[in-house]
Amino acid sequence: MDKRNIFTILLFQLTTIVIGKHVPVIGWSNSRTRLLEKTPTIPAGHFVNSDFLQKNYLDRLVASTAPHNICVFVIDKLSIDDITKYSDAYNSDSTGNALANLRVALESSVSSIVLPSVDSSELGSYLSSKVNGQVIELSDPSSLKGKSLDATKTNVIIFQLTTSPDTNGRENEIREADKMIEVVMSELNSMSTPYTALLTAQQAPIKKKLTVNSKDSVKVSRHILESDIQDDKFFFANYTEAACKVFFYSESVIAETADGKVSLPQETWDTTGSNCTAESVLLVMSNNNGTNSYKFEMEIQLDKYKFWNVNKATFSMGTNGTQLKQAIDMTFVETPEQFSYHCVQSEAKSTGSGDLKIKKVIFNDLQMQPFKIENNQFSYPNDCIGFFSEGIWMGLVTGLIVILILAFGFGMLASLSVMDKFDDPKGKTITVAQSSE
């Protein structure tokens, strides 16, 4: 019991450290006494905790005898990655892109520091408590103008900046923050007392996990990449009768019309109107919720070789009772009786006549089984993708031919031998007369 409690406490602490506490601190100062130089070098990846920050950086600022203004910018969300990404940091001729003003401030300062990963939650309060002058907390950059600050004492000004969330991207949020910093800097520069500015954040932005949409990259790799967070919604239909069961599942079904792609509703569809026997199944799936109503009709037949196939399939789509039909070709699902058919991405093209103008119906992650369902589960799937794809076979055939030729040639070379028929180890050796030239 004790071990478990300790573990959960540690885990909680670890998560709080990891989530949101790794914020950068960027400082610059125009004080002649070079307050921010000669600070200890931080190895890359090193996390600076509050004590270290206070002892090595903040104490220098408050202990300095010359009075100056300390201005702390606390942005709601910032990380060192944002700064390097949006300020074009690795390009030596850049002008700083979204953080142009910050760049100018850092370059024109007398001394500056950049700490990538700091716990700065107590920075503001520590400075406020140690300093002997005024402590002002503002949230609007332009409100610094009117304030009068005592020039003989060290004052602390804390700006809590919140960037309005911009759906267009982080870059615009950073640009906005940069503008606010610029307003304050111009005001600070106009004052006679030197200043030190510290830029930090309340928390680091939560990073989005990299995912790959498996629907777009199916034909490329063999392994399954992590797909987008599923909503657990899928297209499903089942029909059960006394002697037979039919399952139809597809993660999503998309009908491609001339105008665009229509995504069919991902819920359990109604199968009234279906019927099945031991050798043939008529599966009717309809959905009348929502504005459009859709219907699939599939005739599945078991042939004499005990392979089933969808001989005829139609798709209807319409509104308000008028439905237009189109025949689609699903004969790729040919499978033996006891297996289900599974395919990660398949298309049923429209064939023959029909009033509904669709090009094809795309099934993502289709799995269907009309016969021999046991234990309410799909049986072993007959997958549309085999072990070796066409490309692999082509490579193997050509490669094997080439290797065979090489092996043959190598064998011939290896069987070369020296003519030693008339060699007599105990006989006279050949002597070649040396010509004196």
Partner 1 sequence: MSVARVAYVSSSIITAIVVGILLYYTLTDQLYRIDIGWFLTSLSPYMWANLGIASSISFSVIGAAWGIFTTGTSIVGGGVKTPRIKTKNLISIIFCEAVAIYGIIIAIVVSNQLEQYDTTSTDPEYLLKNYTAGYAMFGAGLTVGLSNLFCGICVGIVGSGAALADAQNPSLFVRVLIVEIFGSAIGLFGVIIGILQTTKFGFEAAS
Using rule CB under 8 A, residue 385 touches partner 1? no
Task: Report the site for partner 1 in 351-380 (rule: CB under 8 A).
Answer: 380
CB of 396 to partner 1, least distance (A): 10
Residue 381 is a binding residue for partner 1 (CB under 8 A): no
Of these, 18, 394, 399, 406, which contacts partner 1 (CB under 8 A)?
394
* Residues 296 and 348 sit within 8 Å (Cβ to Cβ): no
**Cross-strand bridge partners of residue 285:** 296
Site for partner 1 (CB under 8 A): which residue of 40, 321, 386, 425?
386
Q: Which is nearer to partner 1, 12 or 380 (CB)?
A: 380
271 binds partner 1 (CB under 8 A): no
Cα–Cα distance between 72 and 196 in angstroms, integer? 8
11 binds partner 1 (CB under 8 A): no
Residue 192 CB partners (closer than 8 Å, separation 6+): 151
- Segment lying near partner 1 (by CB under 8 A), choices 42-50, 139-147, 195-203, 395-403: 395-403
DSSP three-state, residue 396: helix
The yes or no reply on residue 12 touching partner 1 (CB under 8 A) is: no
Q: Which residue, among 115, 112, 111, 158, has the nearest Cα to 134 in the 3D structure?
A: 158
Measured in whole angstroms, the distance separating CA 423 from the mean position of its chain's CA atoms is 75
Candidate ranges 29-37, 54-62, 352-360, 411-419; the one touching partner 1 (CB under 8 A): 411-419
Query: Helices 100-108 and 170-190 sit at what angle, rounded to 10 degrees?
Result: 40
Kindly tell me which residue out of 1, 220, 229, 414 binds partner 1, with binding defined by CB under 8 A: 414
**Closest C-alpha among 146, 7, 169, 137 to residue 72:** 137
Pick the binder of partner 1 from 390, 423, 424, 437 (CB under 8 A).
390
Q: Does 427 bind partner 1 (CB under 8 A)?
A: no
Beta carbons of 92 and 80 less than 8 angstroms apart: no
The minimum distance between CB 355 and partner 1, in angstroms, equals 22
Contacts of 260 (CB under 8 A, 6+ apart): none
Say how far apart CA 294 and CA 253 lie, in whole Å: 11
Q: Give dist(CA 183, CA 365) in Å, integer.
A: 55
Chosen residue from 43, 260, 411, 425 binding partner 1 by CB under 8 A = 411
Neighbours of 133 (CB within 10 A): 17
Which one of the spans 173-181, 214-222, 264-272, 410-418 is the region binding partner 1 (CB under 8 A)?
Answer: 410-418
* Residue 417 interacting with partner 1 (CB under 8 A): no
> Exactly one of 349, 355, 357, 399 binds partner 1 (CB under 8 A); which one?
349
Q: Are 79 and 173 in contact (CB under 8 A)?
A: no
Per-position x/- string for 321-340, each x denoting binding to partner 1 as judged by CB under 8 A, each - no binding: ---------------x-x--
- In angstroms, rounded to a whole number, what is the distance separating the alpha carbons of residues 93 and 82? 19
Measured from the CB of residue 367, what is the shortest distance to partner 1 in angstroms? Answer: 17
Binding mask 275-314 for partner 1 (x = CB under 8 A): --------------------------------x-------
Which residues pair with residue 377 across a beta bridge?
374
Residue ranges binding partner 1 (CB under 8 A): 307, 336, 338, 349, 380, 382, 386, 390, 393-394, 397-398, 401, 405, 411, 414-415
